[in-house]
Amino acid sequence: MHEHTNEIHIMRIFNDTNTNFQYIRDYKKVDKDDFITKLDGMLYVDCAYQGEFKGESVYVIGIAGTYFHTNQIRSYYLAKFSTKYNLTEYFALSEESTVMEAARGVKVDLDNKMVYLALEINKQKYHDRTVYKPGTEPGEDNGNVAILAYSWTHGVRMWTTVVGNEVFTDYFGRMANLGNHLYVYLNSYSTVYSTNSSQTDIYYYKIRASNGFIETSKVFGSASDDFILDLRATHIGLFVLAVISDDLRPHK
């Protein structure tokens, strides 16, 4: 993203092993509403290889960012770009004007034809979803994490899932997709393992890609500070890079 024009450009670098030169291909700029959407802060990008077209590798790129709504509340921006067609297939803006939303991650899912967006929000209830169990009224607002799934072709929000702690502020860690599931990790104080609220434990969620249903959730931690740094999903399992204590629990 250009710091002065706020334009987002996709570039591809080719390495020619014969000449030792690098070539850059500049695609069209990514579409957004420049009159309203002046992105602020970090951009999040995920790139997925889609195959070959006319002898050239093509990719689908998800881009997420944050901008200030006209009422000065942070809101999210999401775009899906195709190098095959050299265009922005769609972009989506926040549907909420009263909830503070900060984009924290994006993931392109070729298997289930979805684009996932991770947000940190400042409400307990979001798009009629909450971390509270059915029949329990949400308590005082605190920061949770929302996962939104957008359709492949038209950029329609298909489902929303809110994850995290009922009382303490949550921070998005990483997410990865594999098969029919999306795996999400958070860093948050849990009262299960941490000894004070300045420390975090690691929250894990296995979410069904088709509808956002949480199939499994667990908390890992110790009496020390534990937090996730990176995540990779492979056919033999999930690989997590994290800062942990020797006494991380549960052990299995």
Give Cα separations from 243 to 187, 190, 215, 220, 222 (angstroms).
11, 16, 26, 12, 11
In angstroms, rounded to a whole number, what is the distance separating the alpha carbons of residues 250 and 218?
Answer: 9
Give pLDDT tens digits for 117-139. Answer: 999 999 888 998 998 877 677 66
Asked if pLDDT for residue 251 goes beyond 60, the answer is no
The model's pTM is 0.92
Contact by Cβ (8 Å): 243, 227? yes
- Topology (CATH) of 8-243: Lipocalin (2.40.128)
Instruction: Quote the pLDDT of residue 7.
Output: 84
Which regions of the chain does DSSP assign to beta strands (E)?
8-16, 21-30, 44-53, 56-68, 74-82, 87-93, 101-109, 114-121, 125-126, 129-130, 144-151, 157-163, 170-178, 181-188, 201-208, 214-220, 227-234, 237-243
> What is the structure's pLDDT at 175?
98
Q: What is the pLDDT of residue 139?
A: 67
- Sort strands 157-163 and 144-151 into parallel, antiparallel or unpaired: antiparallel
CA 244 to chain CA mean position, Å: 23
Cis peptide preceding 134, ω within 30 of 0: no
Lowest mean pLDDT, pick from 67-71, 87-91, 148-152: 67-71
pLDDT of residue 35: 63
Q: 66 near 46, Cβ under 8 Å?
A: no
β-bridge mates for residue 15, sequence order: 22
């056919």: which residue's tokens? 235
Query: What residue spans define the domains of the chain?
Result: 8-243
- What is the reported pLDDT for 40? 87
Span 33-58, mean pLDDT?
Answer: 87
Confidence of residue 62 (pLDDT cuts 50, 70, 90): very high
